[in-house]
Structure 1
Amino acid sequence: MTFMSLGPLPGAHPTETQVAFQRPELAVILSLYGRMVAAGEWRDYGISCLREVAIFSIFRRTAEHPLYRIEKRPKLHGRQGQYAVIGMDGRILKRGHDLRAVLRVLERRLIRAVE
């Protein structure tokens, strides 16, 4: 029996890898997301996996710009940290090596929403 290799699909770049959130990272992010949805603060999210960055975008309404972006940039792991929370205006609200510590900037907003 002979096996034939078809090669890569048109438009596919097998040497390019995408950055993605791992399951434990998504569990941490979705836990916070669920609490904020229950508090009525957030309504929708989107995930983008690109070559240099993975982005979890958080929306108040579906058809608007994201309120926050949680980014993972592995190339910054040795420097400022690979995780960042970025506000709607593009300001970096928190950056670091530990995802839970970085997300605390958003958890403070949850405490204010519940009070």
Structure 2
Amino acid sequence: MTETPDSSPGETGAQGPNVVDLREYRSNKDPVPVTFHRRELDAILRIYGRMVGEGEWRDYAIDHTHEKAIFSIFKRSGEMPLYRVEKNPKLAAKQGAYCVLNAHGMILKRGHELDQVLKVFDKALKLIKT
């Protein structure tokens, strides 16, 4: 009995076994999900903390998929999200990787820089008469 390496049928050919780059195999088999980097998450959580302090928002959720990262903002935890901050690297060269969507899925702001996109949450200053 001869010992052969574990391989599936058709893997060995006339030239011998196929050589596969391990990094390429892993990226094709299970691609790494898109995530928010620390600076991006800090910017989002800074605004989230301010709005929680004002009583506007109460809960959030973070989702990491293979196509995009999503930060969902809730008024109450049992409802649909009020807003979603999304990072989609596939759109980085076109419309910008970042966007803010409302509860109905309408894009409120989109861009290449997260700080610029998050300005949609800045409130306009009000004139107070004394």
TM-score of the two chains, using structure 1 as the length reference: 0.81
Deviation at 1:64, TM superposition (A): 0.2
**Is 1:18 the equivalent of 2:33?**
yes
Q: Distance in 2 between matches of 1:108 and 1:76?
A: 27
Correspondence list, 1:48-63, <5 A = 48-63=63-78
**Cα deviation 1:28-67 (Å, max 9, x = unaligned):** 0000000000000000000000000100000000100000
1:89 aligns with 2:104: yes
Total equivalences in the alignment:
99
Give 1:14 deviation, angstroms.
Answer: 5.0
Runs of 4+ off more than 6 Å:
none
Gaps of 5+ in 1: 1-12
Which of the two has higher C-alpha Rg?
2
Q: CA deviation at 1:17?
A: 1.3
**Structure 1 Cα separation of the partners of residues 110 and 77 of structure 2:** 26
Q: Which residue is 1:36 aligned to?
A: 51
Q: Quick one: distance in 2 between partners of 1:62 and 1:89?
A: 17
**How far apart in 2 are the matches of 1:52 and 1:27?**
21
The offset of 1:15, in angstroms, is: 3.1
Candidates 67, 84, 102, aligned match of 2:117: 102
Offset at 1:95? Answer: 0.2
Identity %: 53
Q: Distance in 2 between matches of 1:41 and 1:14?
A: 42
| RMSD value, Cα | 1.6
